[in-house]
């Protein structure tokens, strides 16, 4: 079982290889779940970060959705609510 976010690969100094995990996700016996709800950042921060992340290539793209919409807190949405 693996849990990872290649966009938060902060262990390069320890020879960590995020590409290994990306390739692992392509294997036929691996089931992948994407956590698309971002509770940490507002939309403007995600937009700014995506300008840089896309340059890393396939597997690093970010299609998360910001759940924070102002400085007062988090907007929670029901998983079953159609978008």
What does each of the 83 residues of the chain score in pLDDT, given as a tens digit?
777 777 666 666 777 777 887 888 888 898 888 778 888 888 888 888 888 777 777 777 788 888 887 766 555 565 555 55
Q: What residues does each domain of the chain span?
A: 6-74
Residue with tokens 């939309």: 43
Separation in Å, CA 55 to CA 18, 36, 52, 60, 70: 15, 20, 6, 9, 28
List residues bridging with 68 in a β-sheet: 74
- Looking at residue 30, what is its pLDDT? 86
User: Where does 1-83 have alpha helices with state H?
Assistant: 18-26, 43-53
pTM assigned to the model = 0.55
């Amino acid at each position: 079982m693996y849990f990872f976010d290649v966009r938060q690969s902060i262990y390069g100094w320890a020879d960590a290889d995020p590409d290994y995990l990306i390739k692992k996700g392509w294997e036929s016996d691996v089931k992948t779940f994407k956590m698309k709800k971002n509770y940490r950042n507002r939309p403007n921060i995600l937009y700014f970060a995506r300008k840089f992340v896309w340059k890393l290539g396939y597997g690093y793209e970010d299609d998360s959705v910001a759940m924070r919409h102002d400085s007062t807190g988090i907007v929670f949405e029901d998983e079953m609510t159609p978008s």
